[in-house]
Structure 1
Amino acid sequence: MESRTFLSTFRKEVAVPEVEGEAKPSLGNWMPLHEADCIIKERFENCMKGRTMYLVPYVMGPIGSHMSRPGVELTDSAYVALSMGIMTRMGERAVGAMKCSEGTSSRLVKGLHCSGRPKDGKLAVPFWPCDPERTVIVHKIEQDEIFSYGSGYGGNSLLAKKCHALRLGSYQAKCEGWLAEHMLIMGVEPECGCGRKHYLTAAFPSACGKTNLAMMKPAVAGYKVSTVGDDIAWIHFNRTTGKLHAINPEYGMFGVAPGTSWKTNPNAMATFMKNAMFTNVALTDDGGVWWEGMEEPCKGVKVTDWHGKPWDKLNAKTPAAHGNSRFTCPIYQCPSLDKDWENCDGVPVSGIIFGGRRPHGMPLVYEALSWNHGVLVGSFVKSEATAAAEHKGGTMMHDPFAMRPFYGYNAGHYLQHWLDIGCTPGLKQPKIFHVNWFLRNKEGGFAWPGYGENIRVLEWMLRRIEGDDTVAEETPIGYVPKEGAINMEGLDPKPDHDHLFKFDKEFWLKEVGVLVPGQETTDPTYYAMFQTVLSLLSRWKNPRNS
């Protein structure tokens, strides 16, 4: 609901970048406080009449951690109350933590949610109230308040998740000197125990493989992967270690169901085998759930689609499950859960990864030349739109830091905050990488097998983190693997190294908004925020030395 989501502040420039002329900011929507108050009053008056109201106290992050933050949500949705019990530390222990934090700097986030009630009182879909024509999600970031009306979808109704953990969280982080990011957190270490364990964070737009990577089951021997979180990271500077440390503020997983299977993500499948909820998936008459990408139902089993209608694969014209259907389950059931996933000090971050769905031009992996260059790399993340966004599938969306729908304040100030974090005295800066698991080959298929085979790319990253200069070569966009540096043993067919790591100058000139001779731009606002800086790339031979 990107177009229905607003930041409301005293001054507009706190929330969104100033733009020239009549152009509309594309990284966030702003609403004046007086207008927000009118909308809230008009929608919320009597909206819960006749319904049960649930008061949900919660804590984001491990109980007792200085990195955790409290919140409370008032809702008329039993689905929300149950989901918040899975996704957060909810209830008596949360109230106890709030009492212990009284008088500290912890800011209580207050959320109000209503599924909605159409003006005529009639529901288009039985048992699941909503008001799609008047749906709105308003964040008063300076008052730590969230108002969500008209939608029962998890991302719009579980206010602890994107609304608190990212939008209000990122604004609190800017004010207090830390980072709230749309990132997974994972640990990677040698199976033999003879090497150091490293923790990585990764920011990908929705449906680009964050959950699969966070819970990866390596396809080759040599390394094991552990899961700290699959979606959100709160990152603080630790003076003792000199590193950035990250916690997962969530207590559960809210993942995209289609495409998840025992083949693509066995750890996720094992995680939601019990104590889980599913929304908008198909049902089988033997009591199970089903979606596209799962193993086929047993012979004779009947399937009911997410509309509640009989579904037959041979004759169906529409998918059985909604493209953005979800599972919600406790993360502590995950077989690959890291032993330090609830460490109150978080885990030390050795590397940060950005990525998106890019069929052409973007190499499989490259490493930024410096922290500032890494901020630049994060700023021009792009990805094909999926069912999780309000855009046509296949549309290439600019999604800086994978935060496009989740910025809690001015995106320009956000970039400056990242640059400032990199200048923290005593900071041991983590390496920054960009990956593209979705590069296509000449035949139109995927050039890289992905899933558990991605451990081969992570292995290269770890060698770079540990200072191995023999496995990389410098290009105008950063460091890429030398031929033979990525383990290709056992892959059939063997991927084409030159195709995976080709540097296409014309692609990159277009990527950064510089006109290629003989071409005209089709978008007059193409990367307007970054064009002045990025255009320098067209003249650089070596960005690091310029």
Structure 2
Amino acid sequence: IAYLRKNNGEVRAVNVEKGIFGIIMGINSKDDPIQWKALHSPNEIIFSNILITEDKEAYWKGKDGAVPERGMNHSGEWYPGKLDDAGKEIPSSHPNARFTISLDAMENLDPAAHDSEGVKIGGIVYGGRDADTSVPVEEAFNWIHGIITKGAALESETTAATLGKAGVREFNPMSNLDFLSISIGKYIESNLEFGKNLSDPPSIFSVNYFLLDKDGKFLNEKNDKKVWFKWMELRVNGDVDAIQTPTGRIPLYRDLADLFGHVLGHKYSEADYISQFTLRIPENLRKIKRVFDIFAGLMDIPSLVFDELEKQKNRLIQTQKMFGDYVSPFDLTGIP
């Protein structure tokens, strides 16, 4: 949680929290070395919904090593193949199993983490979970476009971390709907107002790690987000160009190919780039209609919201007339 304030035309932030918590499923020594080390060092840690082995060790799905033969979990005494009342196999640890630990346990904690002056914010990132619409990373055109189309219009599919059926697309402005104490309209207006009179406003980005192919497989790998964040950092500092699309600015292939090689040590193909960054116009138009209709039924929504959504819709329609429903990023070569 960051507290943001304006200071001399820029945005600065402090983190008022002492620790972090997160989904523990899949954390392993290869992909998550810093978290792995912290979770296996003498620290104060809260585990929830994991498996406790007979040796009093913590086990979670995706952890290094073999699955234990027995243990205790949310279902009571557990063993491989145990079934629930509906005849469904019970996993060793719950999909929503979590850990809570102090920030100071992380060896890569920034030295400025406890600085009362905070740190300058160069970028704000909004993340949703959708299987078929948004590209992995995209930069908004400006503060207004970002707050409205990346933040206020955010949709995300439900997961095991939420009650009810997983995979249901839900409207969730800024991924913050459950925590609002004011109307959505006033919340959006406050965000728009915050950006006024900033001489150096943060860039706004969207991320989506959950695109699926036609076979239901993820188009992104777990650690690809390292590349997306490195690209955002380069954009904030003006070190790389971007391709302008109807919905925002996306990376050039050559930059991602370089980053995948330097950051992750593997090749990034043109086929990967096309599958991940193709502009999906029908899906984007359907999203705009869904969000527009929701906002039309709410009070206090700034007129700027409808104007910005309408402009994005028109850009998409114009591009659709030129290129069709699905547009390769190689066809969108305009660099602003």
The TM-score by the shorter chain falls in which range?
0.7 to 0.9
Cα RMSD (Å): 2.5
Please give the per-residue CA displacement for 1:197-226, whole angstroms capped at 9, x wherever unaligned.
xxxxxxxxxxxxxxxxxxxxxxxxxxxxxx
TM-score by length of 2: 0.80
Return closer, same or farther for 1:293/1:318 CA change in 2, 3 Å cut-off: same
Q: Is residue 275 of structure 2 the alignment partner of residue 505 of structure 1?
A: no
1:296 shift after superposition: 3.7
AA of the residue aligned to 1:460:
W
AA of the residue aligned to 1:404:
L
Q: Give the match for residue 324 of structure 2.
A: none
Q: Give the match for residue 471 of structure 1.
A: 241
Q: Give the match for residue 481 of structure 1.
A: 251
AA of the residue aligned to 1:291:
W
Q: Is residue 109 of structure 2 the alignment partner of residue 337 of structure 1?
A: yes
Contact 1:305 1:311 in 2 (8 A): no
Return closer, same or farther for 1:257/1:457 CA change in 2, 3 Å cut-off: closer
Match among 376, 382, 387 for residue 155 of structure 2: 382
SS in 1 for 2:26: coil
Q: Give the match for residue 134 of structure 2.
A: 362
1:462 shift after superposition: 2.2
Contact 2:292 2:306 in 1 (8 A): no
Please give the per-residue CA displacement for 1:38-92, whole angstroms capped at 9, x wherever unaligned.
xxxxxxxxxxxxxxxxxxxxxxxxxxxxxxxxxxxxxxxxxxxxxxxxxxxxxxx
1:426 shift after superposition: 4.5
1:491 shift after superposition: 3.1
Residues of 2 paired with 1:426 and 1:354: CA distance?
A: 20
For residues 53-92 of structure 1, the aligned pairs below 5 Å read none
Count of aligned residue pairs for this structure pair = 297
Q: Give the match for residue 461 of structure 1.
A: 232
SS in 2 for 1:512: helix
Residues of 2 paired with 1:254 and 1:467: CA distance?
A: 33
Contact 1:236 1:245 in 2 (8 A): yes
1:272 shift after superposition: 3.0
Q: Is residue 304 of structure 2 the alignment partner of residue 535 of structure 1?
A: no
Residues of 2 paired with 1:492 and 1:314: CA distance?
A: 42
Residues of 2 paired with 1:524 and 1:350: CA distance?
A: 29
Work out the percentage of aligned pairs sharing the same amino acid.
Answer: 27
Return closer, same or farther for 1:238/1:532 CA change in 2, 3 Å cut-off: closer
Q: Give the match for residue 307 of structure 1.
A: 75
Contact 1:365 1:457 in 2 (8 A): yes
Q: Give the match for residue 419 of structure 1.
A: 192
Contact 2:52 2:71 in 1 (8 A): yes
Q: Give the match for residue 14 of structure 2.
A: 247
Residues of 2 paired with 1:280 and 1:456: CA distance?
A: 31
SS in 1 for 2:310: helix
Residues of 2 paired with 1:256 and 1:459: CA distance?
A: 23
Return closer, same or farther for 1:397/1:265 CA change in 2, 3 Å cut-off: farther
SS in 1 for 2:218: coil
1:317 shift after superposition: 0.8
User: With CA pairs under 8 Å and 6+ residues apart, which has the higher RCO, 1 or 2?
Assistant: 2
Q: Give the match for residue 39 of structure 2.
A: 272
AA of the residue aligned to 1:256:
I
Q: Give the match for residue 180 of structure 2.
A: 407
Residues of 2 paired with 1:310 and 1:457: CA distance?
A: 39
Please give the per-residue CA displacement for 1:304-332, whole angstroms capped at 9, x wherever unaligned.
22232132158771122233232222111
Return closer, same or farther for 1:266/1:408 CA change in 2, 3 Å cut-off: farther
Residues of 2 paired with 1:291 and 1:455: CA distance?
A: 24
Residues of 2 paired with 1:510 and 1:411: CA distance?
A: 21
Contact 2:253 2:273 in 1 (8 A): yes
AA of the residue aligned to 1:504:
R
Residues of 2 paired with 1:378 and 1:294: CA distance?
A: 34
Q: Give the match for residue 282 of structure 1.
A: 51
Return closer, same or farther for 1:491/1:392 CA change in 2, 3 Å cut-off: same
Q: Is residue 92 of structure 2 the alignment partner of residue 317 of structure 1?
A: no
For structure 2, the 5+ residue unaligned runs are 320-336
SS in 2 for 1:486: helix
SS in 2 for 1:309: strand
Residues of 1 paired with 2:173 and 2:313: CA distance?
A: 21
Residues of 2 paired with 1:297 and 1:499: CA distance?
A: 35
For structure 1, the 5+ residue unaligned runs are 1-231, 515-522
Structure 1 stretch displaced more, 252-261 or 351-360: 252-261
Contact 2:27 2:62 in 1 (8 A): yes
AA of the residue aligned to 1:480:
I
TM-score by length of 1: 0.51
